[in-house]
Structure 1
Amino acid sequence: MARVEKERTVEELTEMFKKAQAVVLSDFTGLNVEEMAELRRRCRDSSVVYRVAKNTLARFAASKADLEPLLPYLTGPNGFTFGYDDPAVPAKVINDFAKESGKLTIKGGVFQGEVIGPDQVKRIATLPGKDVLLSQLLMQVGAPISRFAEVLRSVLREFLYVLTQIGEVKGAEQREGEAEKKPEEKKSEELEQGKEQP
């Protein structure tokens, strides 16, 4: 590999380390060509990037990205899985593939800027995805609001019921008052008619 190409690879890896929400480091020893192609396909389908890099170049890139604690993990064959959107996805993809193939070994990773060990990567792999966590959070935040809205609706219903009852009582009183006035009005009308007749 020419020096210019090595420098370009280091720069690319450095940017990938800096931009990624999560990086999973794995040892791909024992994977054949078909299995490696399947791993790359799954990564692409999950919107993560799988990249193999020489350790010397990866060390330079990790140092430039302020990830020196990752350096002890950079021994032997290494594949890097970079996730840019949902930080749990690279861990899920690699963990699932490692379980199925029995050949891929999780060595560690970087999760939101912090270097983590293989056990932590496996724990992250069991977390629900970002969208599921956000919907759960919104449900938790929204539950008190919806209960409050239901209380307001209930109070409004009760208020409208009271107004309806008051209206019915007033209407009944008014009808009774009109019924009482009618005989008096009839008498006054008769008196008035009697006065008009000579």
Structure 2
Amino acid sequence: MPAQANIDMLQKVTESLESSKGVFVIDYRGLTVKETQELRHALRDANSTMKVYKNNIVNIALKNAGLPDISDKLKGTCAYVFFENDPVDAAKAIKKESEALKKIEWVAGIADGKALDAESAKAYAELPSHDELVAQLVYVLAAPLRGIASVCAGPARGLVTALSQVAEQKEKEAA
């Protein structure tokens, strides 16, 4: 019969999986307590949380949740980064901290319902975030409208220029 601590941990892992859209797995070996706190804070800003669980319990929770199997990658000291919304935000936070600390290694992940190896998980950090994609879409959609507005304003602008020149010429003749 499993120990009560393991049953409780399985319940916590299951809750973390249910409340998140996916998970990145990182190797955090060598981080000091302060560095770990900084990483957790950066992840919190990206609507993500980092938890440390036993790998075999995570494997059981993944299997129970019907998520892809990444058990072959879960070896050694693993931390699990559960993201609530956009996987890109969490990946960017991990990448930023890993570049600053030079101690964090990508192990695996599950995003969009698919198992990811270390390189695929790391590639999420290179993608534009949801907000950046929306901004790009708005820019692309607004470009033709700006062109139309410019074309429509052209004749009026020409008329104003012509009337202004006529007014200047009349002033010169009157003087």
Q: Does 1:55 align with 2:55?
A: yes
Cα distance in 1 for residues equivalent to 2:148 and 2:15: 47
Bigger fraction of residues in helix:
1
Q: Does 1:120 align with 2:120?
A: yes
Asked whether the equivalents of residues 22 and 112 of structure 2 are also in contact (C-alpha less than 8 Å), the reply is yes
Specify whether residues 150 and 16 from structure 1 end up closer, same or farther in structure 2 by C-alpha distance, changes over 3 A only.
farther
How well do the aligned residues superpose, as a CA RMSD in angstroms?
2.5
* Partner of residue 108, structure 1: 108
Cα distance in 1 for residues equivalent to 2:148 and 2:18: 43
Cα distance in 2 for residues equivalent to 1:93 and 1:82: 12
Asked whether the equivalents of residues 24 and 94 of structure 1 are also in contact (C-alpha less than 8 Å), the reply is no
Runs of 4+ in 1 over 6 A off after TM superposition: none
Alignment of 1:1-198 (within 5 A): 3-148=3-148, 153=152
Specify whether residues 76 and 52 from structure 1 end up closer, same or farther in structure 2 by C-alpha distance, changes over 3 A only.
same
Asked whether the equivalents of residues 22 and 90 of structure 1 are also in contact (C-alpha less than 8 Å), the reply is no
Cα distance in 1 for residues equivalent to 2:57 and 2:23: 16
Size of the alignment, in residue pairs? 157
SS at match of 2:69: helix
Q: Normalising by structure 1, what TM-score?
A: 0.68
> Which blocks of at least 5 consecutive residues in structure 1 are unaligned?
162-198
Greater RCO (Cα-Cα under 8 Å, separation 6 or more) = 2
> Which blocks of at least 5 consecutive residues in structure 2 are unaligned?
160-175
- One-letter code aligned to 2:23: V
SS at match of 1:26: strand
